[in-house]
A and B are shown apart, each in its own frame.
Chain A
Amino acid sequence: MMDAGRHPRIEILTLSEVVDVQGYVGNFQVRVRRKPRYVIEDLCTGCGACVEACVWKDRVPSEFEAGMGMRNAAYIPFPQAVPLKAVIDPHSCLWLVKGKCGKKCERACERGAIDFEMQETFLDLKVGVVILATGFDLTDDPSLARYGYGVYDNVIDGLQFERLSSAGGPTGGRILTKDGRVPKAIAFLHCIGSRDDEASEYCSRICCMYATKQAHLAREKTGGEVYQFYIDMRTAGKGYEEFYKRIQKEGVYFIRGKVADVVPDDGRLLVRAEDTLLGRLVEVPVDMVVLATAARPAKGSKELAQLFNVSLDKDGFFMEAHPKLRPVSTHTDGIFLAGCCQSPKDIPDTVAQASAAATRALVLLNQGQVEIEPTTARVIEARCSGCGECTLVCAYSAIEVVEGKARVNEALCKGCGTCAAACLAKAIVAQHFTDEELVAEITGIFERERVLA
């Protein structure tokens, strides 16, 4: 993070979203919307004086703490944030929401970095290549309610457990129930929202390992009983199986069976499941339930796929051009994929894929130019009336009418031939696929009897 923040050739654009993409490989024009931070980045030193001064104190669930902790309306997301700059949340800041606040933050800032007048801006970038690395969200499948998520206190998801366990988190790294007790027993429920006919069919791949790691942390920090309810343990990865064995030896109970439901039980939570190895129903009372929730495509993936003209797979992740031979490419030249936006994967695989995507991008950048297939559409200007029919049928927006004549952008044209078929005046030729060539081909098919005669 720090390296990226300091790199002279990386410009970090936070609070930013791509809103428009034009062009083609080597020549993309990208429009980025920059939402206002209400803090002038160049002036802010990240000292936190505005955060201290904010009167809307600890009133907003912190995104970084996954809702396990609270933040102010003026805040720094976390101590190692890059850039380390304050931000004012327009949805909770009293001044920005209601226009009523003493604006103590403004006065607290010695450098005058607070700017409530800041507006959203647009930035136009020209780039040769694009890497999509938009990550994942944890599932919010409705089936989570069956396990008491959002219903009972102390039913949390994997990311919330991470924040509880983190020394920088809301409890200073202590695993505590909502009312501040050290849990005597914790259950981890695998395959929540994945490998589930009612949610998603796919295996989310990271959950077995992260739940096992969390079981270790829970055991170490609470000394209590820790249960893992799993369907199959999937520990494929360097050092993973060994890690699983180690956690088994640490006294974590692994019960093979998917949990049916979680119900309240005299101030505790009762986890009910079938132990499929012993062939009997089990009920385990615990104080905390952690759901190993599946990774699902990040919100906005669909819109982004349309913007960049890339495909989604059946689950909504970005689709690679070939599952084995072109795993970081897309069907759109010059656009590559890295990380969980392509499918759920662990950190080593994500880093490896990111470097692979960077390499594919660098191959293009280093070539300095892209070679374009010459099998494109060609306009015979003398015949063109400039009616524009071809521009309407072109799926690649490769034709425009300039000074009364159709003009083909050869870099955009894929040579599909739709325009040539649509042109009534026969003023467009699909090079290498002319009418004459196609008729000759048909002639060839039907001349066998004659040739052999």
Chain B
Amino acid sequence: MNEPRIGVYVCHCGLNIAGTVDVEAVARYAARLPGVVVSRDYKYTCSDPGQEMIRRDIADFGLDRVVVAACSPRMHEPTFRRTLEAAGLNPYFLEMANIREQCAWVHPEEPETTRKAQELVAAAVRRVSLHQPLLPRGVPIEPAALVVGGGIAGIQAALDIADAGYQVYLVERQPTIGGKMAQLDKTFPTLDCST
């Protein structure tokens, strides 16, 4: 395998990360790691200009792997996967180092925070080099819905789905649909009838 060409982006997340982590030191450290071609810190990497910076670098430096050191991947992994895809890279050539929830937010101060952030970034850099290209697979959806319960909630949901053109099976335990609402006399606050 050719030597990977990795770009590293260390996010300030405003002061969420930069408040307790020396982000510039983290970016400088990442630049010394094997395979890293470009390493930058940026105020809000998830913003449009932030993503644009990554796209430009991929083109300018011929990057084939990207590490974003920012928040939890639960937050923005899909965002940056799309960024890679838009730049023509396989979206799974991305690795996120969570230096917010797992570092800046849970440790009180320098220099431990910066040190841990550097270690997390190095781990991500090592790991991303080995990533294989992956492709999502599509599975067809059966064009029908099951609604369990024939009260007002089930009836409303069934009608909406059926009106949209799909087959609905409305399963009810009792001999009739209607549920509790059919038993009510008047309903608050307008006192109109329920059935």
By a beta-carbon cutoff of 8 Å, the part of chain A in contact with chain B is 1, 3-5, 7, 9-18, 25-28, 30, 32, 37, 63-64, 66, 77-78, 80-83, 85, 87, 125-136, 159, 162-163, 165-167, 169, 173, 209-210, 212-213, 216-217, 237-240, 242-243, 300, 304, 338-341, 346-347, 350-351, 353-355, 357-359, 361-362, 364-375, 410-411, 431-432, 434, 436-438, 440-448, 451-452
Cβ of B189 and Cβ of A213 under 8 Å apart? Answer: yes
Can you report 5 residue pairs joining A to B where beta carbons are below 8 Å apart?
Answer: A1-B155, A9-B167, A133-B153, A216-B191, A372-B138
**B179 neighbours in A (Cβ, 8 Å):** 135
Give Cα distance in the complex from A371 to B175, angstroms.
39
Q: Which of B148-193 contact A (CB under 8 A)?
A: 148-191
Contact call A14/B126, Cβ cutoff below 8 A: no
Are A209's CB and B177's CB within 8 A?
A: no
Residues of B within 8 A of A237 (CB): 189
The verdict on A133 contacting B122 (CB below 8 Å), with A354-B152, A370-B138, A371-B136 known, is no
A45 shortest CB reach to chain B, Å: 16
A81 to B122, alpha carbons, bound, how many Å?
A: 67
Contact indicator A17/B171 (Cβ below 8 Å): yes
How far apart are the CA atoms of A78 and B182 in the complex, in Å?
9
Partner of B195, one of A1, A371, A436, A446: A1
Neighbour of A77 across the interface among B115, B175, B186, CB < 8 A = B175
Q: What's the Cα separation between A9 and B159 when bound, in Å? A: 9
Pick out which of these stretches binds chain A: B38-46, B48-56, B98-106, B127-135: B127-135
Which 7 residue pairs spanning A and B have beta carbons closest together?
A339-B153, A444-B126, A358-B160, A243-B189, A133-B154, A444-B123, A26-B141
- List A contacts of B188 (CB < 8 A): 209-210, 212-213, 240, 243, 346
In the bound assembly, the distance between CA atoms of A169 and B185 in angstroms comes to 9
Q: Does B125 contact A (CB under 8 A)?
A: yes
User: Is B144's CB under 8 angstroms from A125's CB?
Assistant: yes
Q: How far, in Å, is A46 (CB) from chain B's closest CB?
A: 11
- Whether B33 is near chain A, meaning CB under 8 Å from some CB there, is yes
- The reply to whether A240 and B189 contact each other, CB–CB distance below 8 Å, is yes
> In the complex, which of the residues A14, A80, A129 contacts B174, with contact meaning CB atoms closer than 8 Å?
A14
* Beyond A238-B189, A358-B156, A365-B141, 7 additional pairs, beta carbon < 8 A: A130-B148, A133-B153, A162-B184, A165-B186, A209-B188, A338-B157, A351-B153
Question: What A residues does B174 contact at CB under 8 A?
Answer: 14-15, 63, 77
A interface SS class:
mixed
Q: A77-B174, A437-B131, A444-B124 are in contact. Are A135 and B166 (CB under 8 A)?
A: no
The CA of A173 and the CA of B185, in the complex, are separated in Å by 9
Residues in B neighbouring A64, C-beta threshold 8 A: 182-183
* Given known A-B contacts A9-B162, A15-B174, A209 and B156 have beta carbons under 8 A apart: no
- Are A339's CB and B149's CB within 8 A? yes
CA distance A406 to B3 in the complex (A): 34
Q: Is B83 an interface residue (CB 8 A)?
A: no
> Are A362 and B164 within 8 A (Cβ)?
yes
Smallest Cβ distance from B161 to chain A, in angstroms?
A: 5
A11's partner among B125, B139, B168, B182 (CB-CB below 8 A) is B168
Interface assignment of B118: CB less than 8 Å from any CB of chain A: yes
CB-based contact B180/A135 at 8 Å? yes
Complex CA distance for A77 and B128, rounded to whole angstroms: 65
Q: Are B145 and A130 in contact (CB under 8 A)?
A: yes
Determine whether B86 belongs to the interface, using a CB cutoff of 8 Å to chain A.
no
Contacts of A341 in B (CB 8 A): 149, 153
Q: A209-B189, A372-B137 are in contact. Are A432 and B153 (CB under 8 A)?
A: no
Q: Closest A-chain residue to B140, C-beta based?
A: A369
- When C-beta atoms are compared, the residue in chain A nearest to B188 turns out to be A213
B185 near A125: Cβ-Cβ < 8 Å? no
Q: Does B92 contact A (CB under 8 A)?
A: yes
Does the CB pair B92–A162 fall under 8 Å?
Answer: no
User: B152 contacts A4, CB within 8 Å?
Assistant: no
Report Cα–Cα, A321/B147, bound state, in Å.
19
Nearest residue, chain A, Cβ from B166: A365
Complex Cα spacing A18 to B148, Å: 8
Q: Are A359 and B160 in contact (CB under 8 A)?
A: yes
Across the interface, B139 reaches (CB within 8 A) one of A17, A159, A370, A434, namely A370
Task: Verify if B146 is at the interface (C-beta below 8 Å from A).
Answer: yes
CB distance from A176 to the nearest CB of B (A): 14
A329→B119 CA distance, assembly (Å): 37
Contact A375 B145 (CB under 8 A): no
Quick check: B136 and A374 within 8 Å, CB to CB?
A: yes
Chain B residues closer than 8 Å to A85, beta-carbon distance: 175
Which of the residues A37, A135, A239, A410 comes within 8 Å of B189, measured between beta carbons? Answer: A239
